[in-house]
Copies of this chain bind each other. A is one copy, B any other.
Amino acid sequence: MNNGEKQVLVLAGEKNMVFLDKAKNLKTDFIKEETYPESIIEVKKNEKYFQGWKIEKKEDIEKLNQKSFAKGDSIILDFGTHQVGYLNLSIKTAGSPPDAPLRFKLTFGEMPCEIGEDFADYDGWLSSSWLQEEIKTIDVLPTEITLPRRYAFRYLQLEVIDTSSKYEVVFDKISCTSVTTADQNKVKKLPEAVSENLKEIDKVANRTLKNCMQSVFEDGPKRDRRLWLGDLRLQALANYHTFENYDLVKRCLYLFAALPLENGEVAANLFMEPEPQPDDTMLYDYSLFFAVTLYDYYLYSNDLKTLEELWPTAKRQIELGLERLNNNYLVEDSKNWWAFIDWTEGLNKQASAQAILIYSLKRGVKIAEELNELELADYYRKKIKLTSQAAHKYLWDENKKIFISGKEKQTSWASQIWMVLAGILDKKESNNLLNRIMNYSEALKITTPYMYHHLVEAFIKSDNKEKGLEILNYYWGAMIDDGADCFWELYDPEDKSFSPYGSNLINSYCHAWSCTPSYFIRKYYPDYEF
């Protein structure tokens, strides 16, 4: 995710160099693979297809190096599936010795829209510099080049801007050196009984996670290519059930702990280059997730040492979370305060934030008990009680039997989902609440795979695994039906051009927070009767 707006300036705190060194030493090696385009295609306008673009195979890929390209000629290649890596080109010439440079344009698309639509028309509010295009001028031909920037793409368009009247160019060999820190060999085969649909969803989810696993867990390899806490939490869960790269999770946790903001709050995200540093953004929910992610890591890894070392950072996040409570034990809502929750426009975050505080406090209790800090565990328990009571007292609409949020008493799916995950209702009540909100037409819905993850988890927690699976099939299955070979940052089945950024061109189409079907399928449904 990317909040994009200018924030109040938040200063970085003191770096913990011991943690930073630990993180640097945990850098895992990249696994490289050479991949090749599979076919020559056309991208055609067709309103029946997702976002109005249809891919049609035009020619066999074997034709590629038999073609020569003059000024204005272009070609579109399909690499068969989503790649993250470095493009290699071997370019030869036909005709006279080249008497002028070659200038050509490369456009990389995760999705057909990026090839079909003109980047020049982009007017979204995220930087257009994310649009993956490059113009190269080559003075010496023939040549073999590797583009220095890493790209995330399935489709590649090459357009020859100019050669000269005396020569043409041949794209003799094109490949991508794909990179990841995920080892495909670690992924266990799903049981035979799992449905083909679900197997396909699992495969695409795996690819999504794999392509986001770089020097850190990136949110999206096209954009923002950054370590966000909210994404990390979900990636780590999927990773434990697939690639099992514990070191990468550990590295990311140490990075966040090493680079706090001024008040000890972990940043919502970190930059890795030129040196690791925190972004000047904090999000109420993301900070609290540090404790949750640490607890999850300990559960899967049994790495007590890391739990001990990073617990002070996690504790500080809970402290800061509690500081925002008002006299009624409610998370104070205000305009200069940010929690992410979801991209739903106009969403009030108070109830969700209240629930996330409770959800995190409960993990805090577990860690405190594990580390024998029993007084602290008791203190957290008291806070859980008070904040849960406050939720029932101030955020519950007894007529609607729905949690409300903010001064306007907004009703949203998000508030109910998080209250269920916070566990302040019993399982039956939780299941009823979720069904109730989904049938309540006035409620604000959810728009991201991130919140769909939480919806599925909420149903599983409410002992309604069936409904969880149904949603999983419906939502992620629909993405596949719409052409996804990685899962997307944003998908609203009812508004397929949805983008919170003002243009679907800038959406990330391989996005970390969408990778959790693998987690659900492998954790909750291995023995499910399909």
Q: Which residues of A come within 8 Å of B, CB atoms?
A: 2, 4-7, 9, 71, 96-103, 125-130, 134-135, 137, 139-143, 149, 161-166, 223-226, 271, 273-274, 277-280
A-B residue pairs, 4 tightest by C-beta: A100-B127, A103-B129, A127-B164, A140-B273
- With beta carbons under 8 angstroms apart, the residue of B7, B97, B164 that contacts A126 is B164
> Which residues in B have their C-beta under 8 angstroms from that of A141?
274
- With beta carbons under 8 angstroms apart, the residue of B102, B149, B279 that contacts A139 is B149
Instruction: Say yes or no: A165 contacts B99, CB within 8 Å.
Output: no
- Taking the closest CB of chain B, its distance from the CB of A350, in whole angstroms, is 26
CA distance A2 to B99 in the complex (A): 9
CA distance A128 to B129 in the complex (A): 24
CA distance A128 to B102 in the complex (A): 9
CA distance A4 to B225 in the complex (A): 45
Given A6-B96, A140-B274, 4 more pairs with CB closer than 8 A: A6-B165, A97-B277, A97-B279, A135-B135
Instruction: Say yes or no: A130 contacts B100, CB within 8 Å.
Output: yes
> Which residues in B have their C-beta under 8 angstroms from that of A163?
127, 129
> Which residues in B have their C-beta under 8 angstroms from that of A97?
271, 277-280
- With beta carbons under 8 angstroms apart, the residue of B101, B127, B271 that contacts A130 is B101
CA distance A503 to B7 in the complex (A): 49
Tell me the dominant secondary structure on chain A's binding face: loop
- Taking the closest CB of chain B, its distance from the CB of A143, in whole angstroms, is 8
> Which residues in B have their C-beta under 8 angstroms from that of A278?
97
- Taking the closest CB of chain B, its distance from the CB of A163, in whole angstroms, is 7
- Taking the closest CB of chain B, its distance from the CB of A215, in whole angstroms, is 13
Q: Which partner residue on chain B sits nearest A280 by CB separation?
A: B96
- Taking the closest CB of chain B, its distance from the CB of A135, in whole angstroms, is 5
- With beta carbons under 8 angstroms apart, the residue of B2, B161, B274 that contacts A129 is B161
Question: Which one of A5, A97, A141 has the highest number of Cβ atoms from chain B below 10 Å of its Cβ?
Answer: A97
Q: Which partner residue on chain B sits nearest A271 by CB separation?
A: B97
CA distance A137 to B97 in the complex (A): 30
CA distance A382 to B5 in the complex (A): 87
> Which residues in B have their C-beta under 8 angstroms from that of A96?
6-7, 9, 279-280
Q: With A129-B161, A129-B163, A161-B128 as known contacts, state yes or no: A224 contacts B149, CB within 8 Å.
A: no
> Which residues in B have their C-beta under 8 angstroms from that of A140?
273-274
- With beta carbons under 8 angstroms apart, the residue of B126, B166, B223 that contacts A6 is B166
Instruction: Say yes or no: A5 contacts B102, CB within 8 Å.
Output: no
CA distance A163 to B143 in the complex (A): 32
> Which residues in B have their C-beta under 8 angstroms from that of A223?
100
> Which residues in B have their C-beta under 8 angstroms from that of A130?
100-101
> Which residues in B have their C-beta under 8 angstroms from that of A164?
4, 126-127, 129
- Taking the closest CB of chain B, its distance from the CB of A500, in whole angstroms, is 14
- Taking the closest CB of chain B, its distance from the CB of A69, in whole angstroms, is 13
